[in-house]
Amino acid sequence: MEGINVTHSALSILWFTGDQPIVGEILRLNDGGEVGLDWLEDNCSSDAPVIIILPGLTGASQAEYVKCLTLAANQIGIRIVVFNNRGLGGLILKTPRIYCAANSEDLEEVIKHVHSRNPNVKIGAIGISMGGLILGNYLASKQIATRKFLTAAMLISVPWNVFKGTESIEKPIFNLLLNKHLSRTIREFDATFTVKQFGFKDIDDYYTQATMHEKLHLIKIPLLCLNAADDPFQPFDAVPLEAARISKFVAIMMTARGGHIGFLEGIWPLVRDQYISRVFAQYFGAVFRNEADILDITEQYH
């Protein structure tokens, strides 16, 4: 693909999930930056669907929730590629630029690259926490590309309203000192670095552009969202349930418990068999099996 240079790391097997090898790929972007793409394709057919996973703020392929989803997909014959942002997952920064919740340019290149490798294959995407903001903003702002490249998408623990999310973690609910430190650190970093690097007017401008709760009407492919009512990063009243209710494409599932990317079950929760992995596998499995019917339905609303 013009403008994109793909190289493989010297050690192509970066990490293992159980007995399944994850093959690492370094994707060089148009501005010279690099992101990591970790593929799990073992035991899957060459024409099996592919799901792109976008981890959270500092997450990468080694995050437990990513491994959980990766295993769930592999067990039903779906290929996975984990999108590790610049500077994460062992990558060295090649440019001063990193990433932010309101900018989906790197994701655009990743999706085009995945499609170029799999031109006749169904592709889905799932974003977790900040990864959900990046994916959600891509879906809302790139409607034509979204419909061209993606069959369906899913968001987990996305902070719909960044303003309310920041206010929430500043409240003295749990671990007061930790929450204050965390919120202050995030605000200060965004104000002094992210805002300047990506050309926002100020931190309010950045958070406004990153916020998703008023953009659901712009999303035009099937999107399932999973949130917990007790998520400290997103208060219940900030979840756009009414907007989802009237949307033809977006559904929001709310659980009473689950925290932020938690959703654990039982006294001794196991990473490999959890609520998020079951919902994830059931949703994408059903979407990929019934793509023709879904396309017929969604075409009626475009």
Q: Could you tell me which residues come within 8 angstroms of residue 3 by beta carbon, excluding any fewer than 6 positions away?
A: 30
Residue 153: in which H helix or E strand, if any? strand 152-156
Of 38, 106, 115, 129, which one is the catalytic site residue?
Answer: 129
What's the CA gap between 236 and 75, in Å, rounded? 33
Of 168, 247, 260, 277, which one is the catalytic site residue?
Answer: 260
Of 113, 231, 247, 277, which one is the catalytic site residue?
Answer: 231
Three-state DSSP at 185 gives helix
Is residue 168 within 8 A of residue 230, CB to CB? The reply is no
What is the radius of gyration, based on Cα positions, of the chain? 18
Instruction: Write the DSSP symbol of residue 174.
Output: S
Contacts 24+ apart (CB under 8 A), 6-9: 6/113
Q: Is 129 a catalytic residue?
A: yes
What is the residue whose two structure tokens read 């993606």?
150
Residue 225: in which H helix or E strand, if any? strand 223-228
Contacts 24+ apart (CB under 8 A), 42-48: 42/74, 43/74, 43/77, 44/74, 44/77, 44/78, 44/79, 45/77, 47/120, 47/121, 48/77, 48/78, 48/79, 48/121
What's the CA gap between 263 and 248, in Å, rounded? 26
Mind giving me the DSSP string for 16-77? EETTEEEEEEEEE-TTS-EEEEEEE-TTS-TT--EEEEE--TT--TTSHHHHHHHHHHHHTT
Q: What does DSSP say about strands 79-84 and 34-40: parallel, antiparallel, or unpaired?
A: antiparallel
Which residues are known to be catalytic? 129, 231, 260
